[in-house]
Every structure is written in C-alpha cells, then in structure tokens.
C-alpha cells in the first residue's frame, strides 16, 4: 500500500485487497498519515481486486473521520475495478462517496 | 450526440413498486422505463447516453448493459443523490454547445414517459396507473414487433393466447407470452405485462398486472397494481401481500412446498403398483391366513401450504402391518398414484409427532412434500423420528433438487426390490454413503 | 466436483482459503464475474464464522465445502458460533454504519441461502446458479491433435450451420422487402403473390405451391396463384363448408392449423393436391388475419424424401402472414376507392335532384306559397311541385316515393315530368291520379315500389280547393274563422299498388285567413333523441296558433322549420321531409279578436 500527500490531497494507492485481514491495518495507516492541511482524500482502487464487507467498513470509518476532519473533507474513490464497483453499488455506498472513473 | 438520463431516487409514494427494483427498471408495457427512454433518445439521434443513478445503479446497469441494443453507448454512473437536470448539465455537459441533443432531451429526469412530460408518474400510485394508461397508444408504435391492435384500443403481443370465450374490453394491453383462460373479462383499463398467466373466469379491470404473475381462477382485480403476490390499490393507496398462491403468485420463483408429484411420477406409481401386485397381495394373504389384520390406517399431517381439496390438514394412508421391511409401505404407492405423496419427500408425520417438532429448524420437516422415500431412509436411520432423521428431513426441505431426488429414489428402490425379493441378508446401512460424497466420487 | 477445506479460526486465514477456492472454481471454468461473486460471498461467510465464534471453540477449525456442477456452485460453511436467525428480508444498515453488510452481500450475490442452527455447529448453505455456460464449450483438459482436429471440424460445422441459418433469414427478409417495394408500384395482388411465393419456394427448396384465397362474397377457396403459371385454372375452387372434405387444404382451413402431408400419411386420391402434384410431401398453412380466414397456402416438394425443417416452416409462416396483411390491405384500398366513387356519383345525383325542384313558386294575389325540402340521404324520394293553370288557379303536388336513395329519386324524377305532361288531359285531381297510376303501375310493381301522392287544385276565384290523394298524409287546413284545424283526409290507394285504382275528389271552401299544409310523413315521423315522434297533433297545434295573425307563407315556413329543428336537435334525420304551405296573406283578422287589438292601440 502506498500513501502519499499530493499538495493538500492525501492519495492512497496500490492496495491489492481490502478484507477482514488488513482492514484494520489500512484504517490505522491512513489515519496516522492524515495531515492537518487536508482538502481531499483520494483512494485509488485501480489495483484493488478484492474488497469485502470489512473493507467497506474501513472505508466508511475513513469517511467518518474525514467528515470530522477540518470541517469535512471529501473522500473520493478512484477507478474501481468492475467487481469492486458492483460491490460498492450493491451496498449503496455510492451515496456516500464520490466515485470517479477515468 | 450525447444525452443524460437521471434516475428518480427515493420516491416514497411508489414504495411498494420500488422495493424490489429501482424505478427505471419498473416494467411499463413490455419494456422497462429506462428502455423506453433509451429507445426515445436513440430515435432522437443520441449516440452516447449516461444514466445517472443514485438508487441501485448495479441493477440498472445489469438491465441496460452497454446499450448496444439501441445502437447506443450507455454508461450507468453511480451518483450520491438525484441530480436535477440543471445540476446534471452543469456537471457533465459544462459549456459544451454542440455534440449534445437539444433541450430538454439532453438531460431528462425519468419521472415521466417519453412524450408525456405533463404526467408525473411518481406522484402517487394513481398517477403511475394513469400514466401507463395514457401511454398505451404511444407504446404501441409500429416497431414493436408482433404487437397487434386486435380492435381499437386492444393491443396483444407476440405468442399470447387468449381463450375464445374471453371478453376483451378496450382499452387493454396484453404483453408477450400472456395466457388468458376461458370466460375472463379483461379491461377496460387492464394492462397485463409479459408472461402473465390468468386462469379462467377472472375479471381484471383498471389494473396493471406485473410480469411473471399468476392470477388464479375466479379472481377479480380492480383498481390494482398486482405483481407477484404484492397487491397495491392505486385508488386507495393501500398495499398488501396476498398469502394464497392460488389467488395470485409470482411465476418467476417457485417455493419448494409447491412441488407436487408430476403426472409422469403418478403414472410410474400406477405401473409400480401393478408390477409389485403379487408381493403385496402375498403379504396381505399371509397376514389374513395367520388371522391378523393386514392393512393399518395411519393419519398423517399434510405439508404446509398443501391443504386437501376441502381444506383438510391431514391425510390417511395405509401400512401393511406385518410385511417385512420396505414392503410395509407398499399401499402408499396408491397415495403417490393419487398425487397425495411424491416419490421422494419427507415421510409423513402423525399429528402428535408434528407437535413434538421443537423449533423452526425441525419444523422444516413439514415444508417438503410427503414422500414415499425420504433422505433419512437412504441414510439408514433406524429411528424414523430421531434427531438424525429430523436433521435429514430439514436438510431435504431446504436442499431438495433433482439430483438428490434421483439418488434417493435409486437407493430406495434398490433396497425395496431386494426386500421384496426376499434377500435380506445385507444390511442397508453398509451400502449408504452421503449423497454429496457420492457425487464427488463420480 | 467437491472441494473440502478447513482453516484455522482466524481472520488472516480467511483470504488464503478464499483464494484456494477461487483457484478451484477457476479450474472448473467458472466465469470470472461469478468467481468474483463466489469469492466475496465466501469471504463474508468465513469472516462471520471467525468473528463470532464461541471463545471456547476457537481452537476448532472452520470447515468449508464447495460443490461445483455444470449448472450450480454450492458452499457449505460450518461455524461454531452461537448462531443467529437469518433475517428475512436482509436489509442494509444505515449508510454510515461500518458493519453489518456481510449478510446483505451474501444474499445479493447468491441465488439461494439457507442457515440452519445446530446445537454445536451451524451450517450455512449458499448456492449460485451458473449463468455463463462458456465452460461447456472449452473443456480445460489438454487434447491430442486428433481430438483438436475433430473439435475444430465440429466448430466449423456449427459455424457453417449458423451461417446457413443467417443467410436463410436475410434471404427471406430481402425477399419480403423486394416484394413490398414491387407492391408499391403495382396494385396487382395476384402477380405480387406469384412473385413472392416464387421467391419462397426458392428459399425453402420447395418445388411447387398453391395459394388459395377466400374471395369476398363466397365461402370458396379460389386458387389465386400457383407455381405452374399457365395451369392456374387447374386447381379447382373448393367450398370451405364441406363436411369431411377430401382436400387437406379445406381441413387445414377448418381446423385453423398447419397440416403436413407426405409419403405417410399420404393424401387421399381425391385430394386436389394429389391430382395437381402426385406423391409429393409438404405442408398446408391456413392464412388468418385476426380471426378471419384469408386463404390457404400449400407448399411442397415433388421429391418426397425430406420434409421441411423447422426454420423453413417458420419462413413459410412469415411469408404467409406477410401475404395476409398485403391481401387485407389491398382489399381495404379497393373498398375505399369504390366508396369514394359511389359518394362522388351520389353528389352528382343530389345536384340533379335539387335542380328538378321548382326554382320559384308562382305569385298569387292575396296568397303566398312556400315549400320546404330536406332529404335524409344524398338523394331522396320526396318531391313537390306547383303548376299554374291560370292566374288564379293552380295545382299543388306533393309525393313520396316509398323507399330511399337512388331508386326513389329516379321515380321522383319520372313523376315530376309525368305530371305536366298529363295535366292538359284531365280536369280533376282524381282523374290525374288515375292517369298517373295507369302510366306508372307497370314500372312500379316490377320493382315492388309505390308512390303516395297528394294533388290539390286550388281555385282562388271561387275560394275553394279540390283534393285527391293516393295513400298520402292528410291535408291540414286552418282558418281564422274556426277553432279547430281541419284534417282533410283523401282516400285512395298509393300509386303502383292496384292497376285500376279509382280516386275521389274532395272539395273544401277556403275560409278567411286560411292556411293549407301539404306534407310528407317524414315530417310527422321526425324523431328526437329520446325516440319521441314529432307527430300530427304537434303539427296541428302549431298550425292552429298561426291563424289569426299576420304572417307571410315564407315566415310561416321558417317558423315550422325552426320548430322542427328545435324538436330534432342532434338526432339523425330518418326520412326525407317535405312540405308545401299555402297561406292567405291578405289582412283578415279573427273578428272575435279585433276588439282586443283595437283596445290595445292608444286612441
């Protein structure tokens, strides 16, 4: 997993999968890297081939943290693979996150 | 040319309809709402359409696919909320002046049907109904293959069969593969979507019957939106679920309890009865000679949801009391032939046994049809009502499938024929393997 | 195929297990989309089994069993949790809730899910139907070259078949298009069906056809086109109502379903097809449009070895249906054309009839005449005329030819010309009627028609009228001297009923301020929407009210017409309506009313 700061955006990428086994780790790592000056969080799911409900839980937790951070920071999910996009839409998570596909 | 379609989200006034699927997927005269719109946009010259869906976009995408059917390129894009056409334009069109359809077709909120912007479908059930009624002549466009207007205001789709004694009153719409039984009155104001089955002597007026719905004999539908077992009175705005599958039910799903002995099975039972007659009679004669009663009547509980013709919840069957092993059940072939038993199912329970079923799991025993052979038999359970037998019965009720049925039948028949032939030297349990393992070996 | 796995009860072991199952499913040829769904559902199920396990049983492994057939994937997961009741329906938690989506995901991805609770071990059984059946075409096992060749040949064969079917369909489609284009240029239905069906026998590999149509106006199947162009008349017409017919075409038309024939079952020797093309095999398809029988199409092969394939039969049906639509369209078009011609001719007839009515009525000293004529159809059988004899005497003629439309109008025209021709030879109305009856009797009785007529000779010098009638409505007379309207009934048979009918004259004095009304029964039988008739009494009371006041005949006519219109409103006119009104216009008041009138005038 790679976490980098691009200007005022936190950019998380190269997550091979997001499941019960590593959801906690993901959450902690991202939380640890949240800078004070933050405008947006972008999570690139282009390389993610598997997400389960715990993974979704981690994303939602991140979303909650972000809404409290600096009076509300948007979380964007980038380039979800078809199977991950299906999961996101099935569980109505698209109502929470902004989803961008390039 | 590009265009945007916005899916209406969260319309509590149509809650009963949108429970199972998002609003764009709802059937409107043989096609879903979104299909009507894509067709409309394709006619207007659109090439690329984005469907902005906040409500269950996965289901919308599954329905429209890539849009190749209409010669379009369709993307279903998940949105956080329902956008207004103006917001959608701002987000996706920006300042682009050309390359888009002219307003208002460039961004359409699908709360009405093409060409009927004056009728908001989503305001109430009554509006939904009225909108469909008004759309009938528009939907009957010449490109709808096989759709014919039999008389003014009476449209009938392909492969639809209507009994000659049916009275069709304009306006009414019968979709594809619809069957209407004799002496029904359909219309005025009736819409039967595709694959609806209406049994004889029913009346349907001012109602919409959704796809794959069965309407039982002598049913009268009025001012209703009926779909599967759900029934909405559009005039009163009330919803209810019809519990009786003989009045109304969905044809798309079949519950395991509805499984009954097929005609072939019944004929096979007749044949088996005839073939095994010598052994059966021999057993009866034997007990008669020794002065004991041959046939013992037993009362068994009928499975759930399969009451008898006069509403009985029990049935009577017979056992050959003094016959060896499987031959005891020989008279029950008669019940199979009559269609009360199936070849494979759960063994019948006496009413007092049925009382003893402790929890929902065990009560599954009664969810499966009564059978001549059961899974517990083939598994070699010694106690026909023991814990193990209850588990097998519940498993069968949940897991019944053709493969399992065949394997139970094969083993049951083998054991029986061995018994009937007098060879009782081998114990049954030695030959039994769990069915799933057996399949794995194959 | 069954796969059994068990893994240690910890979250880290879930994904490797799911990966192993995934590999197994991929090896079974599961579609990637379905593999992903199974992977996710299994992971969710295993997560639950691990997370909620009873603490004391954490050492026990979790067992997973996967059962995969060509049409189904089934999972059994045994967990040692306290268990729960599977909710129905499974709903999503609120969007911001972090947990509790697992069951929803499983339910959404799988076709069937069941959860059974046991004392120690609970079992989750979930199954997914395999929709994508690609694996059946591409077996994963390695193949030898020979097998590969065989398979290739098989595939090529399949593709060839598909290509053939595609060609077949595009061929029939283009034939239909071609013929439609032709039909636009010609309106010859026979030629059109001949060409269309010639195409059909090419496409279906048939040798011959016979198309029979039910022509309008006869329950007969008439051969319209057949593959033997010159021998068109050879297949005879067939009556459709025959009992137990020998002809398979009639049987098919009566049964409303396709009938096949061939070497076995053969056709009866009397069957026209047997005579037309002996020992061939084929199919008779009845052509229906809605419920009405349009005709039958018999199509067959002389070499009887192979029957039509299902595709070919489908194409035959398509062609037949298309033909039925064309036949019906063409007939409708013809009918419409006919109707337009007829209505044009009727318009001309109407103009002529109008021209035959008198253009102006004679002026009379102190009296006025007015006439009204309205026909229920474009042409009618009513007729009136006024013929002057001298300055103060004239004939009034009103006649009604029984029947409507063109035949009635023709007799009205004859009568119109006959009356002036006979007039110089007669002196009394009865003589005139007798003469007319004699002249018209033959023609009228031949077509079973008759005419009622009322003839009145008015002599203003003597202030009297002489009337004779032939079965016509009575004359109504009113004057200011008497209260009641006088009904002058003239007895006599209508013209054209008996050859030597005699008629009687009735002579009446004309009172002061008199009104004389001659009319046809269309007037009294005018109906309104509620089925009520205008009736003679209404007419009489109207006439009574007109006496004693000053009005010209034209005014009175307008009044009566207005009265009629008020009564009929929107009701459709049933019969022609005609009346002729003679009114004294000289200033004569009812003497009893004079004082009132004078009194009302200021001194």
What CA–CA distances, in Å, run from B327 to B159, B291, B335, B421, B431? 49, 19, 15, 10, 19
CA distance B293 to C53: 56
**What's the pLDDT score for residue A43?**
92
A61 at C interface, C-beta within 8 A: yes
A53 CB within 8 Å of a chain C CB: yes
> What pLDDT band is residue B432 in, cutting at 50, 70 and 90?
very low
Which chain C positions have a beta carbon within 8 Å of B399's beta carbon?
A: 114, 125
pLDDT at C166: 77
ipTM for this model? 0.81
Taking CB atoms and an 8 Å cutoff, what residues of chain C touch A52? 40, 43-44, 47, 102, 105
Q: Which residue of A has its CA nearest to B55?
A: A92
Residue C165 confidence class, pLDDT cut points 50, 70, 90: confident
According to the model, what pLDDT value does residue B37 have?
94
3-state secondary structure A12-71: EECCCEECHHHHHHHHHHHHHCCCCCCCEEEEECCCCCEECHHHHHHHHHHHHHHHHHHH
pLDDT tens sequence across B54-83: 988 989 998 998 888 888 999 999 998 899
Most confident of B104-108, C226-230, C549-553, C594-598: B104-108
> pLDDT tens digits, residue range A10-33?
999 989 888 888 888 998 998 888
Q: Show residues of chain C in contact with A91, CB under 8 Å.
A: 92, 101, 104-105
- A81 CB near a chain C CB, below 8 Å? no
- If one compares B385 and B183, the residue with the highest pLDDT of the two is B183
pLDDT beyond 50 at C599:
no
Phi, psi (rounded to 5 degrees) for B61: -65, -40
Q: Compute the count of residue pairs across chains A and C with CB atoms less than 8 Å apart.
A: 68
Q: Which candidate from A54, A91, A96 shows the least CB-CB separation from C104?
A: A91
pLDDT in tens, B172-227: 999 988 889 889 999 899 999 998 989 889 999 999 999 988 888 888 999 999 98
Q: Are C315 and C309 in contact (CB under 8 A)?
A: no
Q: Does B65 touch chain A (CB under 8 A)?
A: no
B431/B363: higher pLDDT:
B363
Q: What is the pLDDT of residue B424?
A: 41
Among B364, B391, B436, the residue with its CB nearest the CB of C2 is: B436
What one-character-per-residue DSSP string does C144-184 give?
-HHHHHHHHHHHHHHHHHHHHHHHHHHHHHHHHHHHHHHHH
| C46-60, C139-153, C169-183, C261-275, range with greatest mean pLDDT | C46-60
Q: Give me the residue label for tokens 């359909």.
A: B186
User: How close, in Å, is residue A15 to chain C by CA atoms?
Assistant: 15
Q: What percent of chain C has pLDDT over 70?
A: 89
Taking the C-alpha atoms of residue C222 and residue C214, their distance in angstroms, rounded to an integer, is 6
Q: For chain C, give the mean pLDDT.
A: 81
Q: Residue B397's closest CA among B429, B380, B374?
A: B374
pLDDT of residue B224: 93
Q: Name the token pair of B110.
A: 């699908």
C129-158 mean pLDDT: 76
C11 at B interface, C-beta within 8 A: no
Say whether residue B82 is in contact with chain A using an 8 A CB cutoff: no
Mean pLDDT of chain A: 87
List all chains that touch chain B, counting a touch as 3 or more CB pairs closer than 8 Å: A, C
Q: CB distance A96–C96 less than 8 Å?
A: yes
| C 58-97 residues inside an 8 A Cβ radius of A | 92, 95-97
The string of pLDDT tens digits covering residues B390-421 is 777 777 776 667 777 887 888 877 777 666 55
C44's enclosing H/E stretch is helix C32-51
Q: How many residues does chain B have?
A: 442
Distance CA C299, CA C211 (A): 8
Nearest to B175 by CA among B194, B159, B153, B152: B194
| C251 vs C283: CA distance, rounded Å | 12
Which among B58, B79, B81 has CB closest to A90? Answer: B58
- A88: closest CA of chain C, how far (Å): 10
pLDDT for B246: 72
In chain A, the residue whose alpha carbon lies closest to the alpha carbon of B61 is: A86
Q: How far apart are CA B33 and CA B38, in angstroms?
A: 9
Q: Which of B418, B405, B337 is nearest to B373 (CA)?
A: B405
Rg, Å, chain B Cα set = 29
More confident: B90 or B362: B90
Out of B81-85, C60-64, C253-257, pick the least confident.
C253-257
Q: What residues of B are in contact with residue A95 (Cβ under 8 Å)?
A: 54, 80-81
Only one residue has tokens 């004799």, namely: B182
* Average pLDDT over every residue of C405-424: 83
- Give the whole-number percent of chain A exceeding pLDDT 90: 13
Cα separation of the two ends of chain B: 57
Tens digit of pLDDT for each residue in C1-49?
Answer: 888 889 998 888 898 999 999 999 988 888 888 899 999 999 999 998 9
Nearest chain C residue to A83, by CA: C36
Does an H or E element contain B428, and which?
A: none
The shortest CB-CB distance from A21 to any of C14, C96, C109 is to C14
Minimum-distance CB partner of A91 among C36, C39, C101: C101
Cis amide linkage into residue A79, ω under 30° from 0: no
The rounded percent of chain B whose pLDDT value lies above 90 is: 28
Contact C105 A93 (CB under 8 A): no
Put simply, whether A90 touches C (Cβ < 8 Å) is yes
Please, is A14 exposed, middle or buried when counting C-beta atoms within 10 Å of its C-beta (0-12, 13-18, 19+)? exposed
Q: How far is B82 from chain A (nearest CA, A)?
A: 10
Token pair for residue A19? 């499941």
CB pairs under 8 A between A and B: 24
B81 contacts A88? CB cut-off 8 A: no
Write b or e for each residue in B235-265: b if 16 or more Cβ atoms lie within 10 A of its Cβ, otherwise e: eeeeeeebeebebbbbeeeeebbebebeeeb
Confirm if C573 and C373 have CB atoms less than 8 A apart. no
Q: What is this structure's pTM?
A: 0.46
**pLDDT class for C244, splitting at 50, 70, 90?**
low
Q: How confident is the model at residue C420 (pLDDT cuts 50, 70, 90)?
A: confident
pLDDT at C316: 86
Q: How far is C44 from chain A (nearest CA, A)?
A: 7
Eight-state DSSP code of residue B401: -
Any CB–CB contact under 8 A between C65 and chain B? yes
Does the beta carbon of C26 lie under 8 angstroms from any beta carbon of chain A? Answer: no
Tokens linked to C257:
């379903």
- Closest CB to A17: pick one of C15, C92, C104: C15
Neighbour-count burial of B438, counting CB atoms closer than 10 A to its CB (0-12 exposed, 13-18 middle, 19+ buried): middle
Please indicate whether residue A68 or residue B50 has the higher confidence score (pLDDT): B50
């Amino acid at each position: 997993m790679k976490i980098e700061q691009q200007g005022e955006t936190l950019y998380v990428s190269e997550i091979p999968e997001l499941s019960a086994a590593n959801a906690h780790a993901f959450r902690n790592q991202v939380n640890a890297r949240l800078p004070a000056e933050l405008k947006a969080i972008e999570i690139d799911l282009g390389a993610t081939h598997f997400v389960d409900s715990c993974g979704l839980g981690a994303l939602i937790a991140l979303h909650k943290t972000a809404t409290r951070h600096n009076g509300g920071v948007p979380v964007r999910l980038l380039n979800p693979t078809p199977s991950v996009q299906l999961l996101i839409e099935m569980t109505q998570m698209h109502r929470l996150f902004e989803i961008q596909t390039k | 040319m590009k265009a945007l379609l916005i899916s209406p989200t969260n319309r509590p006034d149509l809650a009963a309809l949108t429970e199972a699927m998002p609003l764009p997927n709802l059937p409107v005269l043989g096609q879903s709402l979104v299909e009507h719109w894509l067709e409309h946009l394709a006619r207007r010259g659109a090439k690329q359409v984005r469907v902005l869906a906040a409500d269950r976009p996965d289901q919308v995408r599954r329905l429209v696919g890539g849009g190749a059917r209409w010669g379009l390129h369709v993307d279903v894009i998940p949105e956080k909320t329902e956008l207004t056409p103006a917001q959608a334009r701002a987000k996706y069109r920006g300042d682009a002046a050309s390359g888009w359809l002219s307003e208002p077709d460039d961004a359409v909120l699908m709360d009405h049907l093409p060409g009927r912007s004056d009728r908001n479908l989503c305001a109430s059930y009554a509006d939904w109904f009225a909108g469909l009624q008004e759309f009938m002549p528009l939907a009957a466009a010449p490109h709808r293959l096989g759709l014919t207007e039999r008389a003014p205001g009476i449209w009938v789709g392909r492969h639809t069969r209507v009994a000659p004694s049916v009275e069709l009153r304009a306006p009414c719409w019968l979709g594809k593969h619809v069957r209407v039984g004799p002496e029904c009155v359909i219309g005025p104001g009736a819409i039967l979507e595709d694959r609806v089955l209406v049994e004889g002597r029913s009346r349907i007026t001012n109602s919409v019957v959704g796809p794959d719905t069965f309407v039982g004999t002598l049913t009268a539908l009025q001012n209703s939106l009926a779909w599967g077992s759900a029934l909405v009175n559009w005039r009163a705005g009330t919803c209810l679920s019809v519990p009786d599958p003989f009045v109304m039910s969905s044809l798309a799903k079949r519950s395991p309890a509805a499984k009954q002995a097929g005609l072939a099975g019944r004929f096979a039972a007749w044949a088996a009865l005839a073939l095994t007659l010598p052994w059966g009679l021999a057993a009866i004669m034997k007990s008669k000679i020794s002065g004991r009663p041959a046939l013992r009547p037993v009362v068994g509980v009928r499975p759930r949801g399969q009451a008898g013709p006069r509403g009985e919840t029990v049935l009577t069957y017979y056992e050959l009391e003094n016959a060896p092993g499987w031959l005891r059940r020989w008279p029950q072939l008669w019940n199979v032939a009559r269609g009360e038993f199936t070849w494979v199912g759960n063994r019948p329970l006496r009413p007092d046994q049925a009382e003893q079923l402790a929890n929902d799991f065990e009560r599954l025993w009664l969810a499966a049809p009564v059978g001549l052979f059961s899974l517990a038999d083939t598994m070699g359970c010694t106690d026909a009502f023991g814990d193990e037998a209850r588990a097998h019965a519940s498993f069968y009720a949940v897991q019944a499938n053709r493969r399992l049925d065949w394997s139970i039948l094969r083993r049951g028949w083998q054991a029986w024929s061995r018994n009937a032939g007098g060879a009782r030297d081998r114990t049954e349990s030695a030959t039994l393997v769990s069915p799933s393992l057996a399949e794995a070996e194959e | 195929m069954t796969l059994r796995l068990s893994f240690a009860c910890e979250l880290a072991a879930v994904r490797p297990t799911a990966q192993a199952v995934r590999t197994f499913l991929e090896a079974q040829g599961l579609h990637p989309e379905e593999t992903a769904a199974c992977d996710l559902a299994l992971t969710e199920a295993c997560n639950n089994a691990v997370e909620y396990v009873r603490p004391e049983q954490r050492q026990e492994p979790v067992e997973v069993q996967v059962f995969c057939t060509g049409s189904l994937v089934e999972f059994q997961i045994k967990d040692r949790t306290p268990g729960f009741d599977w909710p129905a329906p499974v709903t999503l938690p609120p969007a911001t809730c972090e947990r509790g989506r697992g069951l929803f995901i499983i339910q959404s991805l799988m076709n069937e899910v069941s959860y059974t609770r046991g004392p120690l071990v609970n079992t989750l059984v979930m199954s997914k139907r395999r929709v994508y059946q690609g694996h059946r075409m591409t077996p994963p096992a390695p193949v030898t070259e020979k097998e590969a060749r065989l398979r290739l040949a098989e595939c090529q064969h399949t593709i060839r078949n598909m290509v053939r079917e595609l060609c077949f369909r595009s061929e029939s489609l283009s034939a239909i298009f071609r013929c439609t284009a032709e039909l636009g240029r010609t309106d010859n239905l026979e030629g059109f069906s001949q060409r269309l069906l010639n195409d059909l026998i090419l496409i279906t590999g048939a040798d011959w056809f016979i198309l029979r149509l039910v022509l309008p106006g006869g329950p007969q199947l008439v051969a319209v086109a057949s593959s033997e162009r010159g021998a068109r008349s050879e297949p005879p017409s067939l009556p459709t109502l025959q009992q137990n017919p020998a002809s398979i075409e009639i049987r098919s038309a009566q049964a409303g379903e396709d009938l096949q024939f061939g070497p076995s079952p053969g056709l009866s020797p009397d069957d026209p097809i047997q005579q037309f093309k002996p020992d061939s095999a084929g199919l008779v398809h009845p052509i229906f449009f809605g419920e009405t029988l349009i005709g039958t199409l018999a199509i067959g092969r002389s070499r009887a070895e192979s029957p039509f394939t299902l595709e070919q039969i489908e194409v035959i049906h398509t062609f037949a249906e298309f033909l039925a639509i064309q036949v019906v369209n063409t007939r409708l078009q013809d009918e419409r054309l006919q109707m337009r011609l007829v209505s044009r001719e009727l318009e001309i007839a109407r103009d002529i009839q109008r021209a035959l009515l008198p253009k102006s009525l004679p002026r009379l000293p102190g009296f006025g005449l007015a006439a009204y004529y309205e026909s229920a159809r474009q042409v009618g059988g009513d007729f009136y005329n006024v013929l002057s004899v001298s300055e103060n005497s004239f004939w009034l003629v009103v006649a009604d030819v029984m029947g409507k439309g063109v035949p009635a109008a023709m007799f009205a025209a004859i009568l119109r010309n006959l009356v002036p021709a006979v007039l110089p030879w007669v002196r009394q109305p009865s003589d005139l009627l007798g003469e007319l009856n004699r002249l018209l009797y033959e023609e009228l009785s031949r077509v079973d028609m008759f005419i009622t007529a009322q003839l009145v000779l008015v002599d203003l010098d003597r202030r009297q009228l002489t009337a004779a009638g032939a079965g016509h409505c009575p004359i109504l007379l009113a004057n200011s001297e008497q209260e009641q309207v006088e009904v002058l009934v003239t007895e006599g048979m209508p013209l054209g009923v008996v050859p030597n009918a005699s008629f009687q004259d009735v002579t009446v004095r004309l009172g002061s301020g008199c009104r004389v009304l001659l009319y046809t029964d269309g007037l009294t039988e005018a109906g309104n929407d509620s089925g009520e008739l205008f009736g003679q009494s209404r007419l009489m009371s109207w006439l009574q009210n007109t006496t004693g006041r000053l009005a010209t005949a034209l005014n009175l006519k307008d009044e009566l017409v207005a009265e009629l219109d008020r009564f009929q409103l929107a009701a459709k006119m049933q019969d022609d309506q005609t009346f002729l009104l003679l009114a004294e216009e000289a200033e004569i008041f009812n003497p009893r009313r004079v004082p009132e009138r004078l009194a009302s005038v200021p001194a």
